[in-house]
Structure 1
Amino acid sequence: MVNETIKNEVFAQLGIPPTDTKLLGGYNGNVFEVGRNVKFVVKILERSVNPVNSQISELEWLAYLHSHGVSVVRPLRVKGNEYIQQINNETYFVAYEKINGSPVKPNDMKIWGTAFFERWGEMVGKMHSVSKSYSPNNEHLQWFQNTVLLNIESIPLNPQLIQMWNTYKKEFYKLPISIENFGLIHGDLHYGNLLITGNEITVIDFGDCEQHWFAYDVAIVIYHIALTVSKQEREKFVKSFFSSFVNGYVRENSDTSFFSNIDFFINYRQLYSFTYHSLYADKNLITEQQLLHLKDMEASIVNERPFLDFSVL
């Protein structure tokens, strides 16, 4: 959680009283809505976790996507002409427009269905299509520069999981790379990072964007969508979802040859998710149910059980 001194310094720089702010969330409680008449969103970041150059790269890509018709949250320059606003030597903040949209809820049958799944696929397809034409001013993180992957040997994990990480890393180096299958991805495209305004889907939280395979972006969508139903319902639901998703995706990006790698990346996502939560979850706030879920995930991974016992294709 962001301490009160840092929060108050940010609000003071913006000339906004704390009474006109609201915590929105973020993995570390670092995202706030600020303002009274004109509201926008502020994210407070630590340099050690989010290097400034990487953050600038993320914001420039967001601006590019927005300018090319992809419905994403737009970064703002709230003071001067810079995206990055310094707080002290360790922390800084960035700002985004406030989207007056509604969060996606899997139990909301007015939204959760074929039409929404197709629009979701269309949005991801357009993002990948636009990514192919993007020439960044600043270098973006490559998949092998991911913080989790860089620190894997020092994370207190089951040795079998460490070995699996090393195996995946070797497999990644064997995968083909081309403009059609590899580029900048969102990196965390679960439904919690979507907002709905009318019929439009807006994507938020690009904090995990990196150079990776497009198949991983799609696999993340499927992994998290599968968690919304019981294991007994997964095959029928996931295959129905994927059919609708692909119908939308190909409207914007017709090359789906990389889809053959989706099953591989779904299993990788489970390993990544378990490792990430083991590393970053606040042990003082984790619930008994969440702890049991993590133990179940670990057992499944160690025993090499695929996350889905069927292929999505």
Structure 2
Amino acid sequence: MMKLKHLFNNTDLAVMLLNHWEFDEASWQLFKYYRISANAVYPFQKNGERYYLRFSPADEKTEQQIVAELEFLRYLREAGYDTVDTLLSKNGNELEGKDTPWGKYYAVAFKGVPGKPLTKLEASKELFFRWGEALGNLHRLSMDYIPNKNKRPSWEEQLLWMEKNIAEFPMEQAVEKEVCLLRKFFLSLPANKNNFGLIHYDFETDNVFYCEKTKTFHPIDFDDAVYHWYVMDVGRALKSMEEEFPLEKQEHMQQQFLDGYRTAMPLQTEMLELLPVFHRYADLYRYVRCLRSLAETWENEPEWMISLRNHINGMMDRDKRNFGRPLVI
């Protein structure tokens, strides 16, 4: 999540950035369906088709990070993997970096993907099997991926980023201890081509679309892609099932997912047994991002911001319950 000050609906900013692309006049009617979290996303139309303008301030995302994301997406598409595509700007660029009255912003326009998110579909054996297969195919392609110039961050760089940010919060000693515990653990964990590479990080129910007509999966939102163990993606997908589907169906769904994954990628039982540690990494990363997001406060904040603060604080309280405790493996 971005800092709270970046979460306001800023239609003027969106219009300034969108004007670097071709679009239909009817696009303005779609702006009311915007969403803002890790990025600002405003839907628009071109030739009657749906696109999405995604932008973020330079203090949230660097140009190098975004270029690396787009390069990985291009590699996947060229390899025949169904994923989100971009729309070139009037200047022929995938990425536009522009100075605005609100500072420097980076913008990309993405084409809409076919189908519906998994949260909108009826659960079935085939759906979960093929969802796992889609993740396995992504990791299989990642095994051979070599970036041309820009590289996405690694788990080590993310931990350094976390340390840098929590240094501004001296009371967060448990968070500091958690960073040290996880760094020590992951440095001791074997990493090789078969179990480690560039992962999606958010291959969850709301970021994976399934087209029933073509029977194809289309993951979106690669802006958290990171070099990590592949099981991190597996664990987060399994976790999202626990949050979205009834308890009595979860074990069966998760097994179908794992069976599908294993048709494309090897997955050792020993790695699955380490999932509690990977969950703690995800909790820590989310906690620090939220800590940074909530740091600034203002008088007379709007009601939506107060409500959002309360929601995030509750989530952070849950995330930090195990911080600093010994890792149980």
CA distance in 2, matches of 1:239, 1:150: 39
Could you give the per-residue CA deviations for residues 81-139 of structure 1, whole angstroms, max 9, x where no partner exists?
A: 3211132161121111111322222xx5x522322211110011000000011111122
SS of alignment partner, residue 197 of structure 2? strand
Equivalent residue number for residue 10 of structure 1? 17
CA distance in 2, matches of 1:191, 1:157: 35
Equivalent residue number for residue 105 of structure 2? 91
Q: 1:297 to 1:263 in 2, by over 3 A?
A: closer
Equivalent residue number for residue 57 of structure 1? 68
Q: Which structure exhibits the higher relative contact order, with contacts defined as CA atoms closer than 8 Å and separated by 6 or more residues? A: 2
Cα shift at 1:305 = 9.9
TM-score by length of 2: 0.80
What is the aligned counterpart of 2:262 among 250, 259, 265? 250
Cα shift at 1:287 = 6.6
Q: 1:223 to 1:148 in 2, by over 3 A?
A: farther
Counterpart of 1:301, as a letter, is N
Q: How does 1:30-109 map to 2 (within 5 A)?
A: 30-36=40-46, 37-88=48-99, 90-105=104-119
Equivalent residue number for residue 140 of structure 1? 152
Q: How does 1:1-313 map to 2 (within 5 A)?
A: 1=7, 3-16=10-23, 17=25, 19-22=28-31, 23-27=33-37, 30-36=40-46, 37-88=48-99, 90-105=104-119, 111-138=122-149, 139-146=151-158, 147-148=161-162, 150-155=164-169, 158-198=172-212, 199-228=215-244, 233=247, 237-256=249-268, 258-280=271-293, 283-286=305-308, 288=310, 291-298=313-320, 300-302=321-323, 304=325
CA distance in 2, matches of 1:287, 1:69: 42
CA distance in 2, matches of 1:268, 1:247: 25
Cα shift at 1:149 = 5.1
Tell me if the contact between 1:144 and 1:150 (Cα under 8 Å) persists in the aligned partners: no
SS of alignment partner, residue 7 of structure 1? helix
TM-score by length of 1: 0.84
Counterpart of 2:42, as a letter, is F
Over the matched positions of the two proteins, sequence identity in percent amounts to 20
Tell me if the contact between 2:133 and 2:261 (Cα under 8 Å) persists in the aligned partners: yes
The alignment covers a number of residue pairs equal to 300
Counterpart of 2:322, as a letter, is I
CA distance in 2, matches of 1:132, 1:286: 39
Structure 1: 5+ residue runs without aligned partners?
Answer: none
Q: 1:115 to 1:26 in 2, by over 3 A?
A: farther
Tell me if the contact between 2:20 and 2:90 (Cα under 8 Å) persists in the aligned partners: no
Q: 1:263 to 1:291 in 2, by over 3 A?
A: closer
SS of alignment partner, residue 132 of structure 2? helix
Tell me if the contact between 1:62 and 1:75 (Cα under 8 Å) persists in the aligned partners: no
